[in-house]
Amino acid sequence: MEPITDRATPHPLVAVAAAGRLPGWAAAGRERRAHMARVAALLEAWARELGLGKRDVVRWAAAGYLHDALRDASPSELGSLPGMDAAKPRSPTQVAGSGAGGASGKPVPPDLPLRRLPPNARHGPAAAILLRREGVDDPELLHAIRWHTLGSADFGLLGRALYAADFLEPGRRPRKEWREGLRSRAPDELENVLIEIVTSRIDYLSRAGRAVHSRTAGFRESLVNGRRRCGDVYYR
């Protein structure tokens, strides 16, 4: 067996997650797990279609299973997890005060503690914290999981694919035909597909009078500007 420190070998927790086995701390009910399995299957198919290597196929499938590992934990519980009180690291690509406040007109400052994130966006950062604590040292995978709800201008290809797969997995009912159409264009036209997804999310939030997080606005901006930032990892 190759040593765990070999960068070519995913962390054992990631390797078993790719086969659908979640960590003991996971809080995800039956329906949630079915959603995670569909996201994982879509990501695995896309990774193969893109011709990625074995290690990446495993990482992509694992991201599908792990992204919602804490989705059914209570947001207040997640907010008090050690590490959630740390300020979010500032990133050069963050769009602080960019007017991305949606209908409320109040931009969400990007450097608030993680526990101040909207309740439905806490499970990603919390899962990333626990995975890092377990020894998973894969910045692209952790970033993808951390920001899969809000989006990120700093996503690698995996983060972008996870954001799209989470939205396009075939179990999602609303606007089924529209989703099917977008799914049929991925992963080849991933950037354009993502622009449609994120634009539709922002429109929905604005119409509902809800704030658009600066990360979501920044993610859309990065896609529209055609920036292709993949952290340290470039696949093509």
> What residues have CB less than 8 Å from 172, skipping those under 6 apart?
179
Residues 117-146 that bind Fe ion (CB under 5 A): none
CB of 147 to Fe ion, least distance (A): 10
Closest to Fe ion by CB, 55 or 179: 179
Q: Residues touching Fe ion: how many (CB under 5 A)? A: 2
Q: Which residue of 165, 166, 217, 219 would you call a contact of Fe ion, by CB under 5 A? A: 166
CB of 187 to Fe ion, least distance (A): 18
Burial 57-91 (b: 16+ CB within 10 A, else e): bbbbbbbbbbbbbbbebebeebbebeebeeebeeb
Residue range at the interface with Fe ion (CB under 5 A); choices 73-81, 106-114, 128-136, 160-168? 160-168
CB of 59 to Fe ion, least distance (A): 17
Q: Which amino acid is at 74?
A: S
Query: Quick check: 169 binds Fe ion (CB under 5 A)?
Result: no
Report DSSP state, residue 224: H
Query: Quick check: 68 binds Fe ion (CB under 5 A)?
Result: yes
Closest to Fe ion by CB, 138 or 166: 166
Provide the 10 A C-beta neighbour count for residue 175: 11
Residues 30-59 that bind Fe ion (CB under 5 A): none
Residue with tokens 């690509």: 93
Judge if the upstream peptide bond of residue 187 is cis by omega within 30 degrees of 0.
Answer: yes
Contact residues: Fe ion, CB under 5 A: 68, 166
